[in-house]
Structure 1
């Protein structure tokens, strides 16, 4: 099993990619052109929020933990992301906030919960072998 110190890099990359995927899906759903640059323009406030939450929760200590790391990163990404969108004149309306909350929750917590199940199964197999 990898130590948390080795897992923080892939976890941070997964968070980054999932946030960019969220932005790209949203832009594609609304038929907004320039998918790559547009997705990054949409994603940056959420990436900033997730980065802030990584520092605040010290997520590198337990990067795959749903609590507090995953929940903190999820809520930080949405809260700071929406605040940054508001102060930069980007759209912040209730339906978008709810979609971001649900989608980023599924993305950022989902892979952590799946990883926890896989790690638990791996430990059981190692003990049983």
Structure 2
């Protein structure tokens, strides 16, 4: 019988952390797409957001799977940077392959916005964890 190295409550917490990080990435990428669509006054709010966002979601998924980011999904490095750059790189590649617009200003906006969103929330989580750990120590 194989031995367990991680107690059941810790595994459950780890699974919840992975699920929450994945959901946060998904929500923030869709928020990026929604903000962009709103800024350009495009219709089809729900389907349009998914139409704009799917390449970036696919890029983020490629990063998650390719680099096994579930091992430490809330770390800014490498997880946050990998999701950010994967979403932008593969997102732009998929947009180009499917005939969607890929122009330099959009690439720059995507890099900046998704960087702030996908790395930023991880930095905030790390800061909260540090503060919490300091309070517990003394």
Q: CA deviation at 1:4?
A: 3.9
> What do the CA deviations read for 1:61-93 (whole angstroms, capped 9, x no partner)?
111100010000000000000000000000000
Q: Does 1:58 align with 2:61?
A: no
Which residue pairs with 2:81 in the alignment? 71
- Residue-pair matches, total: 127
Q: CA deviation at 1:108?
A: 0.1
The 2-side partners of 1:72 and 1:60 are apart by 12
Matching residue within 31, 34, 43 for 2:44 = 34
Structure 1 length normalisation: TM-score? 0.95
Ranges in structure 1 where 5+ consecutive residues have no aligned partner = none
> Could you say which structure has the larger radius of gyration?
2
Q: Does 1:88 align with 2:98?
A: yes
Which residue pairs with 2:31 in the alignment? 21
Q: CA deviation at 1:6?
A: 3.1
SS at match of 1:90: coil
Ranges in structure 2 where 5+ consecutive residues have no aligned partner = 1-9
Q: CA deviation at 1:49?
A: 0.2
Matching residue within 84, 105, 117 for 1:107 = 117
